[in-house]
């Protein structure tokens, strides 16, 4: 009990939160729990959830259909349960996350869905959560902005760091709803949350790639999440949370499913059509910028959950493209040497050579801003954390890869109108899945 309290924010809401934690822990496996699906303080629907598996058994009483997650269709009083399940599952930690089995054992839950349920499915990335139907919890009581001292139990289990076995586990942490296959956890410092992310063997290159991508985006004026090196013996990067108390991220994957795709419409055009239908403005220019950045860094994993748009979670008004995040699986991150024909590409085309043809305007690019990028890349790798993984030859090769990308884009930008914006269904990405990493 003392251990539990010591890691918990001692706020006026403590009693309420403790009550809820104990309720959950004392349930028998397989019991059905009754929740409201909440969007801040708006009750969107009722959910029955299996306590053991964390799966949604049923969704009913849709009281605010417009507040259902984007992509979950609603008609004649019913929500698309299949789409809701997909959204629910994708919002949790994936089974392929590095080290997750061990963390689940420590946290005494069967899977990552059940883990999310234990922590009210609260998130730092969107404003959804689940509230027991017999509870009077309010958004103000539970959200991680007003209550920044979230529990570190889940984070410690994921990090295998300072773990103390405790009966009174508190699962309320943004880690439970942060997806992605790479090792990661949220950290709080002076009341502010930071996301810390690792890389994968053999080169542990992704954290450095994030920092390089930030530098390129900054120089080109592309709105992006700024990643910096995290102080640790191993390579990790860190970044601020990019959503505010008002906003939330809606992934491109959610947007992509709001219209049924016709086979004769390309992946790119389909996505732009979905944006238009939802009333999202300026999608084309933001996508132009993302494709150019991904070309330069040879990003291999810009799947539809690695970009999205921000909206106001109360008014549902679209705000704009989310700053570019998750650019680490790039720059030949796992390859001993770089051959351009090997690089994968997403989300629109299977090759970068085809995808760059979708860019409708290059006139926003000031190439001179990238003149010094090779030196900056050398500096980014000149840290002790990089030494065991990236030797000077690899560092040079990475800088050369970036230069090659810049020069190709420059050529294309100088080219006549006829060689720009070419879109058909050839070489379209059909299966959009995230890369996973060897453990």
Based on the shown chain and the rule CB under 5 A, indicate whether residue 405 belongs to the binding site for Mg ion.
Answer: no
Q: In this complex, which beta carbon is closest to ligand ATP, that of residue 240 or of residue 376?
A: 240
The set of residues, in sequence order, having a beta carbon less than 8 Å from that of 233 and lying 6+ positions away, is 385
Q: How far is the CB of 207 from ligand ATP (least distance, A)?
A: 10
**Which residue has the CB atom at the shortest distance from ligand ATP?**
180
Interface residue list for ligand ATP (CB under 6 A): 124-125, 178-182, 184, 195, 197, 225, 239, 241-243, 249, 301, 305-306, 325-326, 328-329, 434
Asked if the bond preceding 347 is cis, omega within 30° of 0, the reply is yes
Based on the shown chain and the rule CB under 5 A, indicate whether residue 397 belongs to the binding site for Mg ion.
Answer: no
User: Is residue 252 within 8 Å of residue 268, measured between CB atoms?
Assistant: no
Q: In this complex, which beta carbon is closest to ligand ATP, that of residue 54 or of residue 180?
A: 180
Q: In this complex, which beta carbon is closest to Mg ion, that of residue 180 or of residue 199?
A: 180
Distances from the Cα of 260 to the Cα of 71, 257, 358, 403, angstroms: 11, 7, 22, 39
Q: In this complex, which beta carbon is closest to Mg ion, that of residue 180 or of residue 332?
A: 180
Stretch that binds Mg ion, among 41-49, 178-186, 315-323, 370-378 (CB under 5 A): 178-186
- Size of the residue set binding Mg ion (CB under 5 A): 3
Edge-to-edge strands of the sheet including 42-50?
Answer: 56-60, 42-50, 32-39, 128-132
Which does residue 24 touch among Mg ion, ligand ATP, none (CB within 5 to 8 A, set by kind)? none
Q: How far is the CB of 308 from ligand ATP (least distance, A)?
A: 8
Q: In this complex, which beta carbon is closest to ligand ATP, that of residue 157 or of residue 249?
A: 249
As a whole number of angstroms, the distance between CA 217 and CA 437 comes to: 25
As a whole number of angstroms, the distance between CA 238 and CA 184 comes to: 9
Which does residue 241 touch among ligand ATP, Mg ion, none (CB within 5 to 8 A, set by kind)? ligand ATP
Q: How far is the CB of 144 from ligand ATP (least distance, A)?
A: 11
Q: Which helix (H) or strand (E) holds 214?
A: helix 206-220
Number of Cβ within a 10 Å radius of residue 334: 16
User: Helix 392-414 and helix 206-220: axis angle, to 10°?
Assistant: 30
Which residue in the set 141, 152, 326, 423 belongs to the binding site for Mg ion (CB under 5 A)? 326
User: Is residue 334 within 8 Å of residue 181, measured between CB atoms?
Assistant: no
Q: In this complex, which beta carbon is closest to ligand ATP, that of residue 352 or of residue 357?
A: 352
Binding mask 412-431 for Mg ion (x = CB under 5 A): --------------------
Based on the shown chain and the rule CB under 5 A, indicate whether residue 306 belongs to the binding site for Mg ion.
Answer: yes
As a whole number of angstroms, the distance between CA 25 and CA 29 comes to: 10
Distances from the Cα of 100 to the Cα of 105, 111, 316, 346, angstroms: 9, 9, 34, 26
Q: Which residues pair with 60 in a beta bridge?
A: 46
Q: How far is the CB of 266 from Mg ion (least distance, A)?
A: 23
Q: In this complex, which beta carbon is closest to ligand ATP, that of residue 236 or of residue 325?
A: 325
Four-residue CA torsion sign, 152, 157, 160, 165: positive
**Which residue has the CB atom at the shortest distance from Mg ion?**
326
Which residue in the set 71, 180, 199, 308 belongs to the binding site for Mg ion (CB under 5 A)? 180
Q: How far is the CB of 154 from ligand ATP (least distance, A)?
A: 14
Which does residue 236 touch among Mg ion, ligand ATP, none (CB within 5 to 8 A, set by kind)? none
Residue 339, judged by CB atoms within 10 A of its CB (0-12, 13-18, 19+), counts as: exposed
Note the residues at the interface with Mg ion (CB under 5 A).
180, 306, 326
């Amino acid at each position: 009990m003392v251990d539990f309290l010591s890691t918990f924010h001692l706020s006026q809401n403590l009693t309420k939160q403790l009550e809820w934690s104990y309720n959950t822990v004392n349930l028998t496996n397989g019991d059905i729990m009754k929740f409201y699906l909440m969007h801040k303080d708006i009750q969107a629907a009722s959910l029955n959830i299996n306590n053991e598996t964390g799966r949604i058994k049923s969704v009913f009483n849709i009281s605010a259909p417009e507040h259902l997650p984007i992509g979950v269709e609603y008609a004649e009083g019913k929500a698309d349960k299949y789409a809701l399940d997909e959204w629910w599952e994708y919002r949790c930690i994936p089974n392929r996350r590095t080290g997750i089995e061990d963390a689940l054992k420590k946290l005494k839950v069967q899977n990552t869905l059940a883990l999310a349920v234990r922590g009210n499915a609260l998130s730092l990335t969107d404003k959804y959560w689940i509230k027991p139907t017999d509870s009077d919890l309010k958004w103000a009581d539970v959200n991680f902005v007003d209550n920044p001292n979230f529990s570190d139990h889940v984070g410690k289990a994921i990090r295998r760091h300072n773990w103390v076995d405790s009966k009174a586990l508190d699962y309320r942490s943004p880690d439970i709803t942060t997806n992605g296959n790479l090792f990661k956890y949220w950290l709080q410092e002076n009341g502010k949350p930071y996301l810390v992310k690792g890389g994968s063997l053999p080169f542990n290159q992704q954290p450095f790639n994030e920092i390089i991508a930030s530098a390129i985006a900054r120089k080109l004026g592309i709105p992006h999440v700024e990643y910096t090196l995290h102080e640790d013996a191993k390579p990790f990067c860190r970044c601020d949370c990019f959503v505010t108390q008002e906003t939330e991220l809606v992934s491109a994957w959610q947007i992509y499913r709001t219209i049924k795709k016709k086979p004769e419409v390309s992946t790119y055009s389909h996505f732009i059509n979905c944006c238009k239908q939802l009333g999202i403005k300026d999608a084309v220019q933001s996508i132009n910028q993302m494709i150019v950045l991904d070309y330069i860094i040879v990003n291999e994993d810009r799947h539809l959950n690695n970009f999205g748009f921000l909206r106001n979670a109360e008014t549902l008004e679209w705000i704009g493209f989310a700053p570019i995040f998750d650019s680490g699986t790039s720059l030949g991150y796992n390859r001993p040497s770089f051959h351009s024909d090997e690089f994968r590409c997403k989300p629109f085309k299977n090759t970068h050579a085809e995808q760059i043809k979708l860019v409708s305007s290059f006139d926003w690019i000031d190439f001179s801003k990238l003149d010094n990028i090779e030196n900056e890349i050398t500096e980014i790798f000149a840290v002790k954390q990089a030494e065991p993984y990236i030797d000077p030859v690899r560092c040079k090769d990475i800088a050369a890869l970036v230069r090659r990308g810049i020069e190709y884009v420059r050529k294309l930008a100088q080219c006549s109108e006829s060689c720009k914006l070419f879109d058909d269904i050839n070489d379209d990405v059909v299966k959009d899945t995230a890369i996973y990493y060897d453990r």
